[in-house]
A and B are shown apart, each in its own frame.
Chain A
Amino acid sequence: MGAVEKQQRTLATAGTWEYAPSIESREIVTFEDRYGLFIGGEEVAPRSRSWFTTVSPSTEEPLAEIAQAGAKDVARAVDAAREGFDAWSTWKPSERAKVLFRIARILQERARELAVAESLDGGKPIKESRDVDLPLAAAHFFYYAGWADKLEYAFPGRRPRPLGVAAQIVPWNFPLLMLAWKIAPALACGNTVVLKPAETTPLTALLFADVCRQAQVPPGVVNIVTGDGSTGAHLVRNGGVDKVAFTGSTEVGKAIQRELAGRDVPLTLELGGKAANIVFDDCALDQAVEGIVNGIYFNQGHVCCAGSRLLVQESIHDQLVRKLKRRMSTLRVGDPLDKNTDIGAINSKAQLDRIVELVESGTEEGAEVYQPPCRLPEKGWWFAPTIFTNVAQSHRIAQEEIFGPVLSVLTFRTPDEAVEKANNTMYGLSAGIWTEKGSRILWMADRLRAGVVWGNTFNRFDPASPFGGYKESGFGREGGRHGLEAYLRFE
């Protein structure tokens, strides 16, 4: 019995199966024409008397007018938080836990509304806001609700006490989820907060103000001030804050650090990243391809821990890149409210300009660029999923954070070289390792200077797991028991 002669079948020319639009209804969410500031439990007009417009990045359509908080508004919010703290910090911890549980439940009940709002204001695909942002935001409140009356057990013998008023500044990539990461542990520890959402994505934070009212959060415990970078600067400068927590760019993080120098205000920073996603030749290839795609194209690559540098073992480079390119051609770019959309809109014109500039530098410096054919909508801000091959460590696209759907592919030969290249960056937020060998994952994780190391997966989050950076990716940890420590002092 030898090999059997076989009629070679050939493939017919491709038919097409276009998926009809499947649009999530936006009727579920109504925006006010104008949103003031949320201070002391009520909506107030800004004393600055200035307003700005928030638009949908996928259509450039204006969604609402938003208050621009000035120095006086920020001071008023900090005062309200101080007043709120005097009561809130004396509440029975189990009563504080109830409030957090109520917030979590309401987030779940209003999940669809908030998901649609998030996609409209930020441009992310509805499948992500629906399946990732909202469930995780609720999970954070549930998780920290559980800690509220168990702080003595989290830190045995150390008498944990709240810090006071926490100034919290969150970015535009995960507006509501980052709000949850900040507010949940702060409140659980007995602090009150003044939160500043990002200029381009204030809407879900303002809807969250309504969630707070529904959950009977006492006045002054959660205050929300909207505005641009100057509002954030006023907040950091305000002498009444006892704690600053910032998530955003490394540049602004450094400015905050300078501002706080000499002041006795604890700081946590969660900044940029340029994560290495390291693929060994013995990995499960097709699943690694999925992980790479999830690592860099999730949320249009607007992810601080995105796996933006792909380090692939040279022996499988060609095969992997071929698989990756084919997979990229199935990514669906378009209307964030379409349930089948994989990649939504770039968050702002400014961000799009930055991505374009860096991608141009990549081509100029000699890297090879590939984008699958895809139709981009005419209105709004869009960028096709992009991959660069033939990238060297010295290219800007291998060093600077692009914060867009752009992947740089580099190669390595041995595990030692992989570690060396992975660590050769100013950042250190996350890393991924793909191999069948469990022992190699542990060996690598010991040597990688990154706050989070994923093994055979990427971009997985859980409220119980601490998250934070090394080097210029910041310091302090959010999530888990570690996340409590940032909002406590010990007597």
Chain B
Amino acid sequence: MSQTLALPRSLELPGGGRLPRIGSVDAVALEARAAELAKRSIKRESKVFALELAIRMMDLTTLEGADTPGKVRALCTKAMYPDPGDASVPHVAAVCIYPSLVPVARRALKGSSVKVASVATAFPSGQAPLEVKLADVRAAVEAGADEIDMVIDRGAFLSGRIGHVHEEVVAVKDACGDAHLKVILETGELGTYDAVRKASLVAIAGGADFIKTSTGKVSPAATLPVTLCMLEVIRDVHDETGLVIGMKPAGGIRTAKQAVQYLCVLHETLGPEWLTPDLFRFGASSLLNDVLLQLRKQRTGIYRSPDEFTLD
């Protein structure tokens, strides 16, 4: 019969309902379904819709040791005006940066509705004491981050200390205050879809607003099947509790074609209600220009030179 989650008390979901059973995932069939959805043929106006949506859903990201205020300011400009030559192109959802650069981004984005998302909790490994992680989160929030992208402690998860992972998410959520919490599972380190499903439920039980695949520092990062797997968890949670959780695939999504495939998976798994930046984000650093190139192709019928699109 259905399994129950081995977790400490506090498992009751904030929505009042109970978690769906953990259940299991069949890897072969999951990958086959993702591959089938990837074959959807999206053309003309439906493609324009998808490309614009992908821009509005994008967390434009830079997470390098070499990030500087200058680099982040440039990224913020790109976020607000992705295509300076075409005012009809929407701005992206957010910029995603390290906590130390949040003040820079905050200033650069002043007056725009582009959000500031900051990674925190000893990103990307998550291997630090809880107090350090919480201080990291609080600093980012105080500096003006609207959204916090935390990492789970994969070491704890893989050694079976699920309760520990859950408690950390709860504590981080508490430290976030009004900031939205995205919980990064780092699916590339979890090994199986069953583990991804379990980690998704633990993150949601702990208070995640979004669940996110990857840091971008581990390969494989986001894949279509792992995203489908997490979307199915979100669907089960919504069915059983009414909670509405968002999804963010991150890392490895570089082409407009891939982005459209993710949107098809989203559309046909959770329905059109989820086609909004409030509930779905792409974490990407190099995706934007390919989407712009394809969008211009749809509008003008011509593939322009990549040099026509700004590199920031």
A in complex with B: yes
Question: Does A17 touch B at the CB level, under 8 Å?
Answer: yes
* CB-CB nearest in chain B for A338: B41
B23, B26, B171 — which one has the most chain A CB atoms within 10 A of its CB? B26
Chain B, 35-73, contact with A by CB distance < 8 Å: what is the 0/1 string?
000011111111101100000000000000000000000
Q: Given A6-B207, A10-B244, A20–B24 Cβ distance below 8 Å?
A: no
A20 to B206, CA, bound (A): 40
Q: Given A1-B167, A281-B1, A291-B29, A17–B243 Cβ distance below 8 Å?
A: no
Residues of A within 8 A of B43 (CB): 19-22
Residues of B within 8 A of A481 (CB): none
Q: Are A281 and B41 in contact (CB under 8 A)?
A: no
Q: Are A14 and B243 in contact (CB under 8 A)?
A: no
Residues of B within 8 A of A13 (CB): 273
Q: Given A1-B171, A340-B40, A9–B28 Cβ distance below 8 Å?
A: no
B123-181 CB contacts (< 8 Å) to partner A = 167, 170-171, 173-174
A73-99 CB contacts (< 8 Å) to partner B = none
A18 to B275, CA, bound (A): 12
A15 to B272, CA, bound (A): 6
A315 to B21, CA, bound (A): 13
Interface with B: A109-117, A282-290, A417-425, which one? A282-290
Which of B23, B33, B40 is A19 in contact with, Cβ under 8 Å?
B40
Q: Are A11 and B50 in contact (CB under 8 A)?
A: no
Q: Are A17 and B275 in contact (CB under 8 A)?
A: yes
Q: Are A15 and B275 in contact (CB under 8 A)?
A: yes
Chain A, 1-42, contact with B by CB distance < 8 Å: what is the 0/1 string?
111111011111111111111100000000000000000000
Which of A5, A16, A131, A287 is B26 in contact with, Cβ under 8 Å?
A287
Residues of A within 8 A of B24 (CB): 282-284, 436
Q: Are B50 and A17 in contact (CB under 8 A)?
A: yes
Which of B32, B41, B239 is A340 in contact with, Cβ under 8 Å?
B41
* CB-CB nearest in chain B for A290: B33
Q: Are B14 and A339 in contact (CB under 8 A)?
A: no
A339 to B25, CA, bound (A): 28
Residues of A within 8 A of B271 (CB): 14
Q: Are B23 and A17 in contact (CB under 8 A)?
A: no
Which of A8, A285, A457 is B15 in contact with, Cβ under 8 Å?
A8
Q: Are B239 and A284 in contact (CB under 8 A)?
A: no
Q: Given A3-B170, A5-B14, A290–B29 Cβ distance below 8 Å?
A: yes
A22 to B40, CA, bound (A): 9
Question: Does A268 touch B at the CB level, under 8 Å?
Answer: no
A33 to B209, CA, bound (A): 62
Chain B, 255-280, contact with A by CB distance < 8 Å: what is the 0/1 string?
00000000100011001111110100
Q: Are A287 and B47 in contact (CB under 8 A)?
A: no
Question: Does A56 touch B at the CB level, under 8 Å?
Answer: no
Question: Does A375 touch B at the CB level, under 8 Å?
Answer: no
Question: Does B13 touch A at the CB level, under 8 Å?
Answer: yes
Question: Does A322 touch B at the CB level, under 8 Å?
Answer: yes
B285-301 CB contacts (< 8 Å) to partner A = none
- B131: min CB distance to chain A, Å: 13
Question: Does B2 touch A at the CB level, under 8 Å?
Answer: yes
Q: Are A456 and B39 in contact (CB under 8 A)?
A: no
Q: Are B1 and A315 in contact (CB under 8 A)?
A: yes
Question: Does A361 touch B at the CB level, under 8 Å?
Answer: no
Q: Are B28 and A322 in contact (CB under 8 A)?
A: no
Residues of B within 8 A of A465 (CB): none
Question: Does A414 touch B at the CB level, under 8 Å?
Answer: no
A18 to B23, CA, bound (A): 33
A221 to B193, CA, bound (A): 51
| Total count of chain B residues near the partner, CB < 8 A | 50
Q: Are A457 and B29 in contact (CB under 8 A)?
A: yes
A119-154 CB contacts (< 8 Å) to partner B = 127, 131
Q: Given A4-B14, A15-B275, A284-B23, A20–B47 Cβ distance below 8 Å?
A: yes
- A251: min CB distance to chain B, Å: 35
Residues of A within 8 A of B25 (CB): 284, 286-287
Question: Does A214 touch B at the CB level, under 8 Å?
Answer: no
A123 to B34, CA, bound (A): 25
Question: Does B312 touch A at the CB level, under 8 Å?
Answer: no
Q: Given A1-B170, A3-B13, A19-B46, A284–B26 Cβ distance below 8 Å?
A: yes
Question: Does B232 touch A at the CB level, under 8 Å?
Answer: yes
Residues of A within 8 A of B2 (CB): 281
* CB-CB nearest in chain B for A342: B36
* CB-CB nearest in chain A for B193: A284
Question: Does A330 touch B at the CB level, under 8 Å?
Answer: yes
Q: Are A17 and B272 in contact (CB under 8 A)?
A: yes
A438 to B71, CA, bound (A): 54
Residues of A within 8 A of B42 (CB): 19-20, 22
Q: Are A18 and B28 in contact (CB under 8 A)?
A: no
Question: Does B10 touch A at the CB level, under 8 Å?
Answer: yes
Residues of A within 8 A of B30 (CB): 284, 286-287
A287 to B10, CA, bound (A): 30
Q: Are B170 and A127 in contact (CB under 8 A)?
A: no
Which of B44, B170, B207, B272 is A16 in contact with, Cβ under 8 Å?
B272
A340 to B44, CA, bound (A): 14
- B186: min CB distance to chain A, Å: 22
Residues of A within 8 A of B46 (CB): 17-20
- B12: min CB distance to chain A, Å: 6
Q: Are B12 and A3 in contact (CB under 8 A)?
A: yes
B13, B23, B29 — which one has the most chain A CB atoms within 10 A of its CB? B29
A237 to B173, CA, bound (A): 79
Q: Given A22-B43, A290-B29, A17–B239 Cβ distance below 8 Å?
A: no
Residues of B within 8 A of A283 (CB): 24, 26
Q: Are B273 and A12 in contact (CB under 8 A)?
A: yes
Residues of A within 8 A of B243 (CB): 6, 8-9
A266-299 CB contacts (< 8 Å) to partner B = 281-288, 290-291
Q: Are B174 and A4 in contact (CB under 8 A)?
A: yes
Which of B10, B232, B272, B278 is A14 in contact with, Cβ under 8 Å?
B272
Chain B residues within 8 Å of A, Cβ to Cβ: 1-2, 10, 12-15, 23-26, 28-30, 32-33, 39-47, 49-50, 167, 170-171, 173-174, 206-207, 209, 232, 239, 242-244, 263, 267-268, 271-276, 278
Chain A residues within 8 Å of B, Cβ to Cβ: 1-6, 8-22, 127, 131, 281-288, 290-291, 315, 322, 330, 339-340, 436, 456-457
CB pairs A–B below 8 angstroms (26 shown)? A1-B171, A1-B174, A3-B170, A3-B207, A4-B174, A8-B243, A9-B278, A10-B244, A11-B244, A13-B273, A15-B276, A16-B272, A17-B49, A19-B42, A19-B43, A20-B44, A22-B41, A283-B26, A284-B23, A284-B26, A286-B232, A287-B29, A436-B24, A456-B26, A456-B28, A457-B28
